[in-house]
Amino acid sequence: MSDISSVVVVNIVVQDASVSQTGFGTPMILTHEDFFSPNLVQSFSDTASMVTAGASATGPTVLAATAMFAQSPRPPLIKIGKRTSAPTSQTKVVTVAVNVLGATYTTTINGVPFTAVGLATAVLTAGALFTSINAGSEPVTATDNLDGTYDLVEDVAGVLFGLSVAPVFPDNRFQTVQETTTDAGIAADYAAIKVEDNDFYGVMTTSDSELEINILATAVGADKKIFITQSANQDILDDTAGNLGEDLNAAAHDRTALIWSGDTFDFAAGAWLGKQLPTVPGSSTWKFKTLTGVTVDDLGTTEISNLDSNKANHYTPVGGINITREGTMASGRFIDVTRGVDWLDSRISEEVFALLVNNQKIKFTDSGITQIQGAIEGVLAQGITNDLLAADPAPVVTVPKASAVSAADKAARTLTGVAFSATLAGAIHDVTINGTVSV
């Protein structure tokens, strides 16, 4: 019996070429810790596999990853970007800002508390803390500056230490911290990491160097990514001229968000990224989030006002619930808006490109132009479903008639005059209610 193919020949072309979609859920931690080779980037789905690979179980990289994985929802995997620059020594200056005779002063390094009783002067109290720290075994050396301050410097460059100080009260901190570490070359490190693997969206670093944060903010600002960072610097709370919050705000960074956190090794920035990156872009405000494992800061009204004035975020209790506030980039733009618009930009590009590659050609006719219009409308409709865009007023896509396109553009096969308008759904962050009660 002859095969039917001798009479009927069917050739099927499957037009389903898959265009790689930009991901908006993968975080990248930049660190000097070297526990995988020879690559600069490695993915991990849990901290156990990081420790197995050679990461320190108590080091900043694992602690930052722990902060991410502790959230719900949490990212299914994270990426570690290995910095290759020679690290500079982490340096912090602690000041006995308020001296109270007999009060207990505590400086906690890597979770280990060092205490001293307040003496007659701030100089003596700082000296007592310096002595207590150097009598311990943490890989940090204290230097008494004999002026009520003491420096803390890591013993091995690149082996970072966590720090928190006490007692602290709202608008009245007995000890304060200022970070003074120099830049090790973070811009070059970031560039090298992107060359190897650029498939990530949210960036953070184990370093809280003010200089490195300012530099990385500029570098990330040139990419379609976001940088979430943290600092415990006192001058941010005091709104001292030239503080990190003021610098980032003055530079109007739309892609960098700063959160003030009194305990640097809680990695509030990592927890915030871990909580929010798994959500659909644009669907969730970054305000009102409770961060598992992050110590809440009891800030005073002046401190909060100073943070808010420079669009620096904070993690504070409101009505008995610990929440992130205000959910903005340093420029004042809301983080969810930046991420949502990035998603919109990428998906429109991807859908139109997929249309072009999955067809023999898109004709330069009204019907072909309508296909382009439909691809854009499909993404805008998904934006409404994702709660990024408002359904009312509905998004509008405008395209030209083929007859209205110039001969030069037709000859170049370039469609111009395509535009859309849409309204962000936004979010309610504050509510004012006026009521009248009558007898």
| Percent of residues, the chain, with pLDDT higher than 70 | 95
Long-range contacts of 20-24 (CB under 8 A, 24+ apart): 20/350, 21/346, 21/347, 21/350, 22/201, 22/224, 22/342, 22/343, 22/346, 22/350, 23/199, 23/200, 23/201, 24/201, 24/277, 24/281, 24/339, 24/342, 24/343, 24/346
Helix or strand run (H / E) with residue 168 = strand 168-169
For residue 366, what are its two tokens? Answer: 């009204």
pLDDT tens-place string over residues 108-153: 999 999 999 999 999 999 999 999 999 999 999 999 999 999 999 9
pLDDT tens-place string over residues 217-232: 999 999 999 999 999 9
* 82-106 average pLDDT score: 97
pLDDT tens-place string over residues 304-356: 999 999 999 999 999 999 999 999 999 999 999 999 999 999 999 999 999 99
Query: pLDDT value at position 21?
Result: 58
pLDDT level of residue 302 (50, 70, 90 thresholds): very high
Contact indicator for 232, 30 with CB cutoff of 8 Å? no
* 71-85 average pLDDT score: 97
For residue 236, what are its two tokens? Answer: 């941010």
* pLDDT for residue 9 is more than 50: no
Residue of 247, 281, 292, 226 lying closest to 74 (CA atoms): 292
Strands 78-82 and 27-31, sheet pairing: parallel
pLDDT level of residue 12 (50, 70, 90 thresholds): very low
* pLDDT for residue 18 is more than 70: no
- Which residues 6+ apart lie within 8 Å of 212 measured at CB? 181, 183, 184, 186, 205
* pLDDT for residue 7 is more than 70: no
Contact indicator for 142, 118 with CB cutoff of 8 Å? no
Rounded CA gap, 25 and 47, in Å? Answer: 18
Rg (CA), the chain: 27
Contact indicator for 164, 268 with CB cutoff of 8 Å? no
Helices (H) and strands (E) in the chain, counts: 12, 19
* pLDDT for residue 20 is more than 90: no
Q: Mean pLDDT for the chain?
A: 94
pLDDT level of residue 37 (50, 70, 90 thresholds): confident
* pLDDT for residue 257 is more than 60: yes
